[in-house]
């Protein structure tokens, strides 16, 4: 997500994790650590184009994924794997975004 959000007015999708979301909130003086509230605020940030509404997706490790769109927040549970099946979590966020976008281009909604 980063801290320079000036280019965000062109973004239709914003992805981040809970730590990035809370840091973003702090930097912008929102005075909340509630990930759902932060995701909603990011999704409502002004856009250069009104063609598409912004969707904000915040992952939270084993906790539900937060998706904010059109003034609403949805939570999607994470399917937990047994610890013995976890090998390495490096790149998990990138893999998640790849999976999300692959479903988006196939016009999946859930």
What does the pLDDT look like over 25-63, one tens digit per residue? 999 999 999 999 999 999 998 777 767 788 999 999 889
Domain for residue 3, yes or no?
no
pLDDT digits (tens, 9 = 90+) for 71-106: 999 999 998 888 888 888 888 888 888 988 888 888
pTM above 0.85, yes or no: no
Number of helical H runs and strand E runs in the chain: 3, 4
Q: Is 55 within 8 Å of 74 (Cβ atoms)?
A: no
Range of the domain at 70: 8-78+86-105
Q: How many CA atoms lie within 13 A of 40 on its CB side?
A: 12
Domain for residue 2, yes or no?
no
Q: What is the set of active-site residues?
A: 94
Domain for residue 31, yes or no?
yes
Distance from C-alpha of 71 to C-alpha of 43, rounded to nearest angstrom: 8
Domain for residue 18, yes or no?
yes
Domain for residue 1, yes or no?
no
Q: Sign of dihedral through CA atoms 76, 82, 83, 86?
A: negative
3-state SS class at 107 = coil
């Amino acid at each position: 997500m980063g801290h320079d959000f000036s280019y965000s007015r062109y973004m239709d999708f914003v992805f981040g994790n809970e730590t990035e979301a809370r840091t973003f909130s702090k930097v912008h003086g929102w005075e909340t650590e509630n990930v759902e509230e932060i995701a909603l605020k990011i999704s409502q940030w002004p856009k250069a184009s009104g063609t598409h509404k912004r969707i904000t997706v915040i992952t939270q490790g084993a906790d539900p994924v937060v998706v904010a769109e059109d003034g609403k927040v949805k939570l999607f549970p994470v399917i937990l794997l047994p610890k013995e099946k976890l090998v390495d979590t490096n790149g998990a966020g990138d893999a998640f975004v790849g999976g999300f976008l692959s479903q988006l281009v196939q016009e999946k909604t859930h």
